[in-house]
Structure 1
Amino acid sequence: MQMPRIALKEWAAAVKALEQGKQMLLMRKGGIAEETRDFQLQSRYFSLFPTYEHQKQHLIKEADRHILDATLEEWPKDESRWPITIVAEAVEDLLIHDANELQKLQDEHIWTESFAEERLRWKKTQPLHVLVLRAHRLREPIFLPMLEQYGGCKSWIELAGELPESVETEPVLDDAEFNKRLDRIRRAVGKI
């Protein structure tokens, strides 16, 4: 599989949940530092760049807090070895406009109901993007130095430096499980 240079920044706990097959979606409105001030899907195929700073235990469902704990233990203290473990394809970009639609996806992610609704309410005039991802785990993680250009509240970054042209990956979910869960998500928000 080709290694994408474009990367979506996301909480390390959400990346870990994707890697474990616990969830297959992410919710986006855009970072404070976005040029366009809203989220735009810049590429359907991208790497996931884990972030650690803004994760809070009370924003994650109690049953899933162990995922956050694991990411905090793994937090790279040596910023010359920042891990990339997942590449993903955005299969759907669902636009969610109200809390009722969002509530129907509550079992599909690790965030608390109140945090998910907070994401929906932020920038009220814009919909919440729910990205349904087909995640692929790298057989060997890639470690990158943490560069200043990766910082800030923005969704997308361009990975700098030497990257392999291709990487060996395996899908987190097999085709049957992925399609079953994709259908369930589509039905939940009336997209079938």
Structure 2
Amino acid sequence: MQPVALKEWAVSVKALQEGKQIIVMRKGGIIEETRDFRLLSHSFYLMPAYEHQRKELLKPLYYDDMDETLVNWSPDMGEMTLSSYAEVSDDIEIQDQETLDRLRDHHIWNDTFAEERLKWKRKNPLHLLILKVYKLDKPISIPMKPAYTGCKSWVRLEDGIPERNMSPVMPESKFAEERDRIRRAIIDL
């Protein structure tokens, strides 16, 4: 099976790799084939995306993290580095602001970011993906292809991806504890 990658803000990928959060919020990219988000695979590489990151949509504590992601980036990069892999534990659909607000302590984004994600394509739910993230023991450099650019959630990795050993970002017990905290935040009123 051809490997896939989920495109996500580079600062979010950094937070996932460092165990600062275990969630991403998806509605679908502007040029999404299906016009909304669909979970293409339950396991995938995380592909850092840089173009649409906006510092003002992060909590101030994470401004420096975003700056760090931009140090070696340029819009005409010939290669992309993949350094993490994820497995979806849960795909939870969120329809309302009240539920979204209860997740505020579980991610790096500010309230404006979360609200904008929920309101965009209003008739579609916001997908909250709870991810078990793995750090690749050795990052993979791949050539940047036109098919990897643009505002879309998923890319099919065209070149063969070498097998890599990987280690979980957090122990299973810590991951389970954080996943349960997120679930309780959504369910408890």
TM-score with structure 2 length normalisation? Answer: 0.95
**Which residue of 2 is the match for residue 172 of structure 1?**
169
The gaps in structure 1 that reach 5 residues or longer are none
**Which residue of 2 is the match for residue 15 of structure 1?**
13
1:187 to 161, 181, 184: 184
Label 1:167 to 1:76 Cα distance change in 2 as closer, same or farther (>3 A). Answer: farther
1:153 aligns with 2:151: yes
Kept in 1, the 8 Å contact 2:2–2:156? The answer is no
Letter in 1 for 2:177: K
Matches within 5 A, 1:31-50: 31-50=29-48
Paired-residue identity, %: 47
Matches within 5 A, 1:35-184: 35-75=33-73, 79-164=77-162, 166-184=163-181
Kept in 2, the 8 Å contact 1:82–1:146? The answer is yes
| Cα distance in 2, alignment partners of residues 146 and 120 from structure 1 | 30
Letter in 2 for 1:140: K
SS of aligned partner of 2:29: coil
Letter in 1 for 2:42: R
Aligned length: 188
| Cα distance in 2, alignment partners of residues 98 and 183 from structure 1 | 20
TM-score with structure 1 length normalisation? Answer: 0.94
SS of aligned partner of 2:187: coil
Label 1:138 to 1:78 Cα distance change in 2 as closer, same or farther (>3 A). Answer: farther
SS of aligned partner of 1:74: coil
The gaps in structure 2 that reach 5 residues or longer are none
* Cα deviation, residue 162, structure 1: 2.8
Range 26-35 or range 67-76, more displaced: 67-76
Superposition misfits of 4+ residues, deviation over 3 angstroms? none
* Cα deviation, residue 180, structure 1: 0.5
